Structure 1
Amino acid sequence: MTLGTRSAALGRRGGVDPDVAEQLGFTVHDVVQDLRGDVSAVRLPLPIEGADDAEASRARLLAQLDEHLLPRLAELSSPALVVLAGSTGAGKSTIFNSLLRGDISDAGVLRPTTREPVVGVHPRDRATLKAGPVSELARVVEHEGVPRGTALLDAPDLDSFVSQNRSTAGKLLEGADLWLFVTTAARYGDALPWEALDRARERGASVAIVLNRVGEDDLVTIRGDLNARMRERGMTDAPLFVIPDVGPHEGLLDSRLVAGIGRWLAMMAGPERSRTVVVRTLKGALKALPDWVDGLVEAVEAQGAAARELRRVIDIVVPDAESVAQAAISAGTAGGSQVTARFAELVASRRIDRVTVRDGVVRAPKRAGRARSEALAPLREEARKAAERSLAAAGARTEERLRAELAGPGAPAAGAAVAPSGRERGQAREVWAAEQAAAWVAEGDRLVAGLGDGENGQDPDAPVPPDEAVPGARRAFGDAGLATLLLAAALGSEDAARLLGKVLGDTVEDLVRPLRSDLVDRTALAVAAEARSVQSALEIPALADDAAATLRVRLAELRRLT
């Protein structure tokens, strides 16, 4: 349904006048309501160029939808809201009071004078004044001087030194059907008036300008300059009212000085004329929405493009990091000098290598096996620590590489925001490495426990220790001792591997291989865990490839409507 489509149902819902329903249908309200939900759900998590501006635009769009469009579309019969806005000391409250011929809003030299917004409404229009920012933020005053079909609001200063006043003024302006912008001969060239007027034009609002306190000698020059500025901004149709400088005064202005504004307000009086203003402003606001949404779509898609580039960098780092981390384990150097030194110490002090083998079978009493198992306990702990160090180092190196690629020279946009860092990550890595190392040690115990019954995790076709060798080896070292030698051999201790070969035969490498492979797999997990800490920040709906899809649907709907 377009803005000009008639729907009989519209005239029956919510008391909407059929003539107005012909111009603005409830389908428009539904589309804008859906748009509001989608805009509210937008997130721009990556600090890329333009993200801050896009977030500010998103906040303004939400304000426009919440404070003007949706309330207006829901209640078209409410009076047209005319907001007097402007800079500190522009004379808004004096003009407001002068139009209504009464001291309704505070006016004077004390700043800010408008501490509490005041909205004047004709008594017969009070019941139809829409609920929203106006009724919530402003004091409502019934006054016979307000033309029927309009509500006249005196807003706080846009540049008030009180932040709450500035915020309130912004909300009230977003809810306005028409801006009556008040400036002065001394301040019309300031940036603030034109920034405010650009905002009004951007959102399609109707605008009128009051140039206050203009000296007679400067009238022609200032008026000509102001008209030129308005033409530059495409505001040639905006009414311009000039109030001469009357010097220091208190109370109301002479009625003749505000008569032009009063006639203009009266011209809009009455339900039908005021609705014309409402509909014109709504059409302007709806026409402006596609550009706003299109800009938001671009911002969302820019976020997705940045996330894809970050993922690409991570996908390059991870395989390289895995290769480097696994190379030491596959080469049999993961244990370093500590494991080798510990084994040599036990050989020298506890003579753990002194075993008797006859016909391929170890000859040793169980008592000797218990003693060797206890003696090998320090080597077992050293092997566990070596595995833990290896896993933690793999994670740390991956973190360093990720940080270098994501936050170093030539890094992609927003890389520094997702690059791994912080003590908490290091602590988590250490805890994880300790758990994995303990699990790896337990895997060695499992392999030894399965010797002789086919449960050692080897390839079914691989040679296994002779059945007659296993009982003797167990008597000589105990299961824990054999597992310790197996762990040390998997970490690269050749002496431990030779001792295992002495008691279990030449197939010891087939026992070492699955344990070494298990540690390789855990190293890959260590690298993946570091990458995951970064990838998780990118695996959110806001950075998905289709994150802007629903906004594009709303954009198509808006373009059909307008």
Structure 2
Amino acid sequence: MTSSTRTSRFRGGRSDAAAAEELGLTVHDVARDLRRDVADVRLPLSIDGAQEAAASRDRLLAQLDEHLLPRLAELSSPAVVVVAGSTGAGKSTLYNSLLGEEVSEAGVLRPTTREPVLAFNPADADVIADGPVTELSRVIHHDGVPRGTALLDAPDLDSFVQENRSIAQQLLEGADLWLFVTTASRYGDALPWQALARATERGASVAMVLNRVPQADLTTIRGDLMARLRAHGMTDTPLFVVPDVGPHEGLLEESVVRQIKRWLHMLAGPDRSRAVVVRTLKGSLAALPGWVTSLADAVEAQAEAATSLRRLVDAELPAAEKLARDAVAAGVVAGASVEARWRELSGTAGVDRVKVRGDRARSSRRAGRTRSEALEVLRDDVEAAAQRTLTASGARVEERLRALLGGPAAPAGGPYALPDAEERATARGETTSSTVAQWAAGADDRVAALLGPEPAAPVRAAAKAFGERGLATLLLAAAAGSDDAARLLDRVVADVASEPVAALREDLADRAALVVGAEIDAVRARLDSPDLADDAATALRLRLAELRRLT
């Protein structure tokens, strides 16, 4: 049978038993897959609607976990009727009176319902299914519960004990039918209507008990409440009125609760209670597409915001790279520290007092080794200066990004895109240290290339006067902006040094641009999360299509 045929028959008014069978066979898998995909949803950007969407996601998960999945897995379990309401509404007294025995604690102290009580007929012992409702409640067998139903007394929805409020909400999500209890003095409060709105939102079946109604005001209050129900789209909601019997202890008179008991017995029996289950399931399933659509829209809004942030960040890259390159190209990397070191070496090691005759430096190998060893400290200073320059370029970009994404005028979701400052500082230090070491090694490679199979005589003589590593250090210093090193190279190797010096400076500029790019990449990495991808809502849209085919 195709899905379209199943849908057609489901909508065509088959018996509840047949519909229940189809619900169990066809929708459970879809609901299970939906639960998995909803649980995977993350909304990391603090944009408009994100907080509300996250709360809706949590409620949808609760509905799936507490009601839909357990119920779809076990359709034959009795229909759970939860007695719910606010503090002092008389829920537990009504509950006990319906059973004809005090099984749930009732009294004037609040909160009275500390432990939920789930009662079902002993004849249903073989079909009662374990699940969230049974796990949270004290389960009892009671002959006063009509066959095919289970009666649940829940904690106060507005209990001042947080745990009680949470349990009450879980139990409401797990019920097949709500028997909502309010009073003549409190039915206009916000809480009853917020709870009923939640029930309507998830498609739950609801009945209402208006408790403690003075006889003189019965007609007026009943009419007002009916008007409110119609205004909330609840015209088919059964309404039971319990008159005010004044101060009392113990159970209510049989005549007071007879109408509600009769209604519960009308729901009794496997087939009739199954109808309640299926009606609520149909309502819950019909409500799912709206929830899933809203959640998918929220996920796509996150992706759109991330795209805007990426564009904003990417727009910073060209100017940042140019600034970093210009800092190197200007030849100011060496700075005062390298100049000071050069003066020191000139005085103590005489590195710049090499004799040149014709176009060649004149020096012994021993003197060359001495100069090479002396130049090691200059190499260290040049590398340190280059590392400071690259680090400063990266830090400048990070500071700009933090102002752009985390400042007073930051776009929605911007702060999320900023990586941890300490982690960035550590990563930047490691990156610049590594990249400068590679840059310096490039100078050694260039000297080795100049001293290839047939080196020029001036190069061979310069390598003898300074050592190969010392000559590479002079190239690095000149590329970093040391005029003293550049003049010395011009003396000993003439035009041969110009190309490797220019290439080393360009290489350092490229590496500075890479350091800057790493700051941009760190932000993009935050925004390139699968949760912010353009197709992040695809799974939800697929589940939505499946739901629409099956409901």
Q: TM-score, normalised by structure 1?
A: 0.93
Residue in structure 2 matched with residue 393 of structure 1 by the alignment: 392
**2:529 equivalent in structure 1:** 540
- Using the alignment, how far apart are the partners of 1:217 and 1:25 within structure 2? 49
Match of 1:126 in 2: 125
Structure 1 residues 199 and 18: alpha-carbon distance in aligned structure 2, compared to 1, 3 A threshold:
closer
Report whether the alignment pairs 1:305 with 2:304: yes
- Give matches, 1:110-189, under 5 Å: 110-189=109-188
Please name the residue that 2:371 is paired with. Answer: 372
Cα displacement string for residues 18-38 of structure 1 (whole angstroms, at most 9, x for unaligned residues): 634465351111111111111
The equivalent residue for 2:54 is 55
CA distance in 2, matches of 1:189, 1:255: 28
- Give, in whole Å, the separation in 1 of the partners of 2:280 and 2:421: 52
Equivalent positions of 1:99-118 (< 5 A) are 99-118=98-117
- What's the offset of the Cα at 1:387? 0.6
SS for the counterpart of 1:212 is strand
Structure 1, residues 166-201: CA drift from partner, whole Å, max 9, x if none? 111111110111000011112111111111000000
d(CA) in 2 for partners of 1:110, 1:469: 103
Q: Distance in 2 between matches of 1:226 and 1:428?
A: 65
Aligned to 2:43: 44
The one-letter code of the counterpart of 2:414 is G
For 1:317, the equivalent position in structure 2 comes to: 316
2:16, 2:274 within 8 Å by CA — same for their partners in 1?
A: no
3-state SS in 2 of match to 1:511: helix
1:515 equivalent in alignment to 2:504:
yes
In structure 2, C-alpha distance between the alignment counterparts of 1:261 and 1:3, rounded to whole Å: 35
Deviation at 1:17, TM superposition (A): 9.3
Measure how far apart 1:349 and its partner are.
4.5
Say whether the 8 Å CA contact 1:17–1:77 is kept in structure 2. no
Partner of residue 431, structure 1: 430
- Give 1:4 deviation, angstroms: 6.0
CA deviation after TM superposition for structure 1 residue 3, in Å: 5.3
How far apart are residue 297 of structure 1 and its match? 0.6
In structure 2, give the amino acid aligned to 1:282. Answer: L
Contact 1:122–1:147 (CA<8 Å) still a contact in 2? yes
SS at match of 1:78: coil
Change (3 A) 1:21 1:194: closer
The answer to whether the Cα contact below 8 Å between 1:4 and 1:23 also exists between their aligned partners in 2 is no
Taking the aligned partners of 1:18 and 1:93, their CA distance within structure 2 comes to 33
Q: Which residue of 2 aligns with 1:560?
A: 549
User: Please, which moves more after superposition, 54-63 or 124-133?
Assistant: 124-133
Change (3 A) 1:308 1:135: same
Residue 218 of structure 1 aligns with an amino acid whose one-letter code is: D
Distance in structure 2 (CA, Å) of the matches to 1:375 and 1:265? 99
Alpha-carbon distance, 1:217 to partner:
2.5
Residue type matched to 1:452 in 2? L
2:548 aligns to what SS in structure 1?
helix
Distance 1:196 1:549 in 2: 32
CA–CA separation in structure 2 for the residues paired with 1:97 and 1:127: 24
Query: 1:109 aligns to what SS in structure 2?
Result: coil
Q: Show the counterpart of 1:493.
A: 482
- The Cα shift of 1:342 comes to 2.8
The answer for the alignment partner of 2:456 in structure 1 is 467
Do the aligned partners of 1:5 and 1:22 also contact (CA within 8 Å) in 2?
Answer: no
- Aligned position for 1:217: 216
Q: Secondary structure at the match of 2:221?
A: helix
User: Which moves more between the two structures, 264-273 or 503-512?
Assistant: 503-512
SS in 2 for 1:376: helix
1:197 matched to 2:201: no
Q: Identity, % of aligned pairs?
A: 62
What residue in structure 2 maps to residue 484 of structure 1?
473
Deviation at 1:216, TM superposition (A): 1.9
Could you tell me which residue of structure 2 aligns to residue 461 of structure 1? none
> What SS does the aligned partner of 1:182 have?
strand
Alignment pair present for 1:359 and 2:358: yes
- C-alpha distance after superposition, 1:429-472 (max 9, x if no partner): 22332232233222222322332217xxxxxxxxxx95212221
Aligned-pair RMSD on alpha carbons? 2.0
Preserved contact between residue 17 and residue 271 of structure 2 (Cα < 8 Å): no
Contact 1:297–1:548 under 8 Å retained in 2: yes
Alignment of 1:294 with 2:293, yes or no, is yes
Tell me the amino acid that sits aligned with residue 547 of structure 1: A
Distance 1:3 1:133, change over 3 A: farther
User: What is the identity, as a one-letter code, of the residue corresponding to 1:138?
Assistant: S
Deviation at 1:383, TM superposition (A): 0.3
User: SS of the counterpart of 2:249?
Assistant: coil
2: CA distance between counterparts of 1:94 and 1:18?
Answer: 34
Give the letter aligned to residue 307 of structure 2: R
Aligned mates of 1:389, 1:53 — CA distance in 2: 46
Equivalence for 1:92: 91
Whether contact under 8 Å (2:155, 2:164) holds in the other structure is yes
CA contact (8 A) 2:387 2:436 kept: yes
Counterpart of 2:410? 411
Q: For residue 167 of structure 2, what is the amino acid of its counterpart?
A: T
For residues 249-293 of structure 1, the C-alpha deviation after alignment (integer angstroms, 9 at most, x for no partner) is 111000111111101101111111111111111111111000000
Q: Secondary structure at the match of 2:315?
A: helix
Aligned amino acid, residue 505 of structure 1: A
Report if aligned partners of 2:418, 2:523 keep a CA contact under 8 Å in 1: yes
Report what 1:241 is aligned to. 240
SS of the residue corresponding to residue 208 of structure 1 reads strand
Q: For 1:5, what is the secondary structure of its paired residue?
A: helix
Contact 1:83 1:153 in 2 (8 A): yes
Aligned counterpart, 1:11: none
1:466–1:505 Cα contact (<8 Å) kept: no
Residues 190-213 of structure 1: CA deviation (Å, up to 9, x unaligned): 111111000000000010011111
Q: Higher mean Cα deviation, 55-64 or 406-415?
A: 406-415
1:337-384 Cα shifts (integer Å, max 9, x gaps): 332343244334443211122231211111221222233233212101
User: How many pairs does the alignment contain?
Assistant: 545
Q: Greater RCO between the two (CA within 8 Å, min separation 6)?
A: 2
Is the CA contact 1:399–1:420 (under 8 Å) kept in the aligned structure 2?
Answer: no
Query: 2-side partners of 1:420 and 1:37: how far apart?
Result: 29
Is residue 20–residue 275 contact of structure 1 (8 Å, CA) maintained in 2?
A: no
Q: Deviations over 1:314-346 (max 9, x none)?
A: 111122111100112123222233323432443
Partner amino acid for 2:63? Q
Could you tell me which residue of structure 1 aligns to residue 9 of structure 2? 5
For 1:322 and 1:388, how far apart are their aligned partners in 2? 16
Supply the distance in 2 between the matched residues of 1:277 and 1:421 (Cα, whole angstroms): 53
Q: Is the 8 A contact 1:309 1:412 kept in 2?
A: no
Offset at 1:114? Answer: 1.1
Output the CA distance in 2 between the equivalents of 1:129 and 1:22.
Answer: 18
Q: CA deviation at 1:72?
A: 1.2
- 3-state SS of 2:495 partner: coil
Relative distance call for 1:423 and 1:497 in structure 2 (3 A) is: same
Asked whether the 8 Å contact 1:90–1:182 carries over to 2, the reply is yes
Q: In the alignment, residue 274 of structure 1 is paired with which amino acid?
A: S
